[in-house]
Chains A and B, each alone.
Chain A
Amino acid sequence: MDVIIEQYFDLDIIRDNFSVVLDGFEQTLLLSGIAGALSLTWGLILALLRQLPGKAMAPVRAVTIAYIDAFRGIPLLLIMLLVSGGFGALAADGTLPESIGIPRWFGKPDPFWYGVIAITITYGAYMAEVYRAGIEAVPGGQMEAARSLGMSHRESMRYVIVPQAVRKVIPPLLNDFIALMKDTSLVSVLGFVEVVQAGRDIQSETFNSSALTLGAIFFLIFTIPLARMVDYMIARQQRRVGRGGGPVAEPAPAGAAGTGQTGGPV
């Protein structure tokens, strides 16, 4: 038993390496913050492209759906390897300018940015689906009301549909963000030292895993409150629905009028 405790909870090792692991975790947070913000934005753009109306936009919708299907189905680790190896090679033979092929923006090394790009590509696809669910959960009458006032599709989305949709999907987006934060550890395979790589380095020097345990604790300090917050927000939303928040919670009227979600210039 003591052996197990010493392997995972050696306080001396934790104390000696605290600042190194903390530095690693700082990088994890930075990666999560930047990649998270970019994924949220990219996901919304994808979701809006997917909702563009009319025949003329059919190719745009098809390409967007293909993108989302593809990148939801490929492991993030594989995307990271494709981005890092591919970009570097393309920069080497001049296809990509070096500033893009080997990005070292804001003093961060290229594996950091390869990680950000790969995470954004993948999580943008996940989050696009979350936004889509939110947009589709806004009753069809909202778009009709906006259009009947003379607002364009774009104005209706911007002022009426998206603000309501985003409110509905904040909890699932936060869930995705928790997953994203954990997945930043994959950047370690590209040679970037974040919290997991920092812990591994110490593990291989000391043959003791306590530094990794410390890294796990750092994660939990962030992920548990986030998860609690998600639960709280979902519970609050359900209470509001339970109260019957006006006509929004009601189904659209049945009848020959249709739902208005079918084609047409709506």
Chain B
Amino acid sequence: MADAVLQLEGVEKRFGALEVLRGIDLDIAKGEVVCVLGPSGSGKSTLLRCINLLEPPNGGRILLEGNEITAGRGKNPLGVDYVRRRVGMVFQQFNLFPHKSAMENVALAQQTVLGRGQKEAREKAAGLLERVGLGDKLNEYPDRLSGGQQQRVAIARALAMDPHVMLFDEVTSALDPELIKEVLDVMRELADEGMTMIVVTHEMGFARDVGDRVVFMDQGVVVEQGPARQVIENPKEERTKRFLGLVLEH
């Protein structure tokens, strides 16, 4: 793929004897929104964590914008920082820094990693928090924010680094149902603006409507992938059908 932002070739990951990823091949184009579905334990989260090297893969290659980031396992010539400055990640548990305000959460890494001045970092933070609908919560601390608000701060925090790719790891799974929409809306906007996104999710509606492509994983392999609507409405593989049947029943 000529304009691939990310290329995964035979990516493997083991935890001891447990093979979590068993050879994943995946190309992600610029501006593409790829939703990863699958039962728990299928390796979806591990896949994301391998892409930003929170978990170094045990085998295979990952290329970010044409540059290999996995060469020599742990001896990546570009360094993990190269990857993490270009790949933003949002976690299921938000992981906001509880001792810092919303503004400071978004400004901190801009200052320490990108070397932006405090004024610039704070202006950028304020702008991003405004954009995720939290312009009135700049100085609130995380424990004063709802789960949905915290997750939107976390998205703003990742965006502040001007990432080329955003990874979303079940970002609505820890939220109360009524708070899910506000987070998905932010993600939808981001997709509309052309951000390249890999979204591990159980939100079928989001995957169908926002995803360009759906990847269905089970037991550490990609079972099926294709245009979002097609995979969700007309899955070819038996395992995909069974999973979607269970999920869509409710």
Residues of A within 8 A of B (CB): 139, 141-142, 144-152, 155, 159-160, 163-164, 167, 245-248, 250, 252-253, 255-258, 260, 264-266
Contacts and interface: CB of A to CB of B under 8 A. Distances in A.
Contacts of B97: 142, 145-146, 159-160, 164
B150 A246 contact: yes
Contacts of B40: 255-256
Interface string B80-107: 1100110011011111111100000000
Q: Which of B43, B84, B112, B157 has the most CB of A within 10 A?
A: B112
Nearest to B160: A149
Nearest to B110: A149
Given A144-B91, A149-B157, A255-B40, 10 more contacts: A141-B91, A141-B95, A147-B84, A150-B84, A155-B112, A164-B98, A164-B99, A248-B98, A256-B20, A265-B53
B161 A257 contact: no
Interface stretch (B23-31, B44-52, B178-186, B240-248): B44-52
Contact of A155 (B54, B93, B113, B174): B113
Contact of B150 (A150, A247, A252, A253): A247
A170 B99 CA distance: 15
Interface in B62-91: 74, 80-81, 84-85, 88-89, 91
A266 B143 CA distance: 25
B95 A247 contact: yes
A159 B96 contact: no
Nearest to A260: B54
A146 B45 CA distance: 18
Contacts of A247: 93-96, 142, 147, 150, 174
Contacts, number: 112
Contacts of A142: 95, 97
A89 B203 CA distance: 74
B109 A147 contact: no
Interface of B: 15, 18, 20, 40-41, 43, 45-46, 49, 52-56, 74, 80-81, 84-85, 88-89, 91-99, 108-109, 112-114, 142-143, 145, 147, 150, 154, 157-158, 161, 169, 174
Nearest to B111: A159
Given A248-B143, A264-B56, A149 B161 contact: yes
B113 A149 contact: yes
Contacts of B49: 257, 260
B95 A150 contact: no
Contact of B74 (A139, A150, A257, A265): A265
A149 B84 contact: yes
B142 A246 contact: yes
The 7 A-B residue pairs whose C-beta atoms are closest, nearest first, are A145-B95, A149-B109, A246-B143, A141-B95, A257-B45, A150-B84, A150-B113
B45 A150 contact: no
Contacts of B41: 255-256
A144 B113 contact: no
A151 B93 CA distance: 19
Q: Which of A149, A152, A163 has the most CB of B within 10 A?
A: A149
Contacts of B157: 149
A246 B98 contact: yes
Nearest to A54: B74
Given A151-B113, A246-B143, A253 B93 contact: yes
Contacts of A260: 49, 54-55
Given A149-B158, A149-B161, A150-B85, A265 B56 contact: yes
A144 B45 contact: no
A148 B89 contact: yes
Nearest to A149: B109
B81 A257 contact: no
A150 B89 CA distance: 11
A43 B150 CA distance: 34
Given A141-B93, A264-B55, A151 B109 contact: yes
Given A141-B93, A151-B113, A257 B108 contact: no
Given A145-B95, A248-B143, A255-B45, A264 B54 contact: yes
Contacts of B46: 256-258
B112 A159 contact: yes
Contacts of A250: 93
B59 to A, nearest CB: 15
B196 to A, nearest CB: 16
